[in-house]
């Protein structure tokens, strides 16, 4: 058995869970926060048989969009101390970040 850990954007989570459930995958949804943007995202835990991992990833790929986001970065002005100039930087937030890990033991009690 494998555990698929997928970090997705909040906007995509509901659709994705719906589709996974429709195909009989069981999902746990965690409300998480990205360490870089410090903004909310969603982490899904999906325990599946190894041969179904590809299907889970296929569904995630289909439903999770990559979006551009503009953040304000600051950099010190050269030659001066303590002066910072804010400037916009465009970053692309996935899609999805997916980890697939082995499950040593799985029990339901
Ligand atoms: P965040 O950490 O909030 O990152 C959001 C986006 O900011 C990232 O999108 C990436 O485009 C950018 N970013 C992150 N760290 C950066 C850095 N050190 N320098 C420059 N830009 C940076 P994604 O790569 O699509 O990641 C989306 C979310 O997935 C992340 O939110 C984080 O919660 C999670 N994530 C991504 N890679 C991970 C990893 N290797 N381990 C654990 N969580 C990860």
**Single pTM value for the model:** 0.88
pLDDT for 78 equals: 60
DSSP-derived secondary structure letter, 57: H
pLDDT of residue 83: 72
The per-residue pLDDT for 16 is 98
Q: Confidence class of residue 14 from pLDDT cuts 50, 70 and 90?
A: very high
Closest Cα to atom 30 of ligand 1? 34
**If we measure between CA atoms, which residue out of 108, 106, 70, 65 comes closest to residue 88?**
70
Residue 76 lies inside a defined structural domain of this protein: no
Residue 40 has pLDDT above 80, yes or no: yes
**Mean pLDDT for the stretch of residues 53-82:** 84
- Over 90: is that where the pLDDT of 81 sits? no
- Ligand 1 centroid to 34 CA: how many Å? 7
Q: Is residue 73 part of a domain?
A: no
Ligand 1 pocket test, candidate residues 38, 72, 93, 96, most atoms within 8 A of CB: 93
- CATH at 37: 3.30.70.120
Q: Indicate whether 26 belongs to any domain.
A: yes
* Residue 71 within a domain: no
Look at residue 87 in the predicted model and tell me its pLDDT: 85
Residue 42 domain-assigned (yes or no):
yes
Torsion sign across C-alpha atoms 76, 78, 83, 87: negative
Predicted confidence band at 79 (pLDDT cuts at 50, 70, 90)? low
14: its two tokens: 């509901």
Distance between CA 10 and CA 38 in Å, rounded? Answer: 13
pLDDT of residue 72: 86
Q: Whose CA is nearest to atom 39 of ligand 1?
A: 97
Q: How far is the CA of 103 from the centre of ligand 1 (A)?
A: 25
Atom of ligand 1 nearest to the CA of 91: 11
Tally of structural domains, the chain: 1
Q: To the nearest whole number, what is the mean pLDDT of the chain? A: 92
For residue 107, how far is its CA from the centre of ligand 1 (angstroms)?
32
Residue 51 inside a domain? The answer is yes
């Amino acid at each position: 058995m494998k555990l698929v850990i997928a970090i997705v954007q909040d906007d995509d989570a509901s659709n994705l869970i719906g589709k996974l459930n429709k195909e009989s995958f069981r999902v746990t949804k965690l409300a998480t926060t990205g360490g870089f943007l410090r903004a909310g995202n969603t982490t899904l835990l999906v325990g599946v048989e190894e041969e179904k991992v590809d299907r889970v990833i296929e569904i995630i790929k289909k439903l999770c969009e990559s979006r551009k986001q503009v953040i304000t970065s600051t950099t010190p002005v050269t030659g001066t101390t303590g002066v910072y100039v804010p400037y916009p930087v465009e970053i692309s937030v996935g899609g999805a970040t997916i980890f697939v890990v082995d499950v040593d033991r799985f029990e339901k009690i």
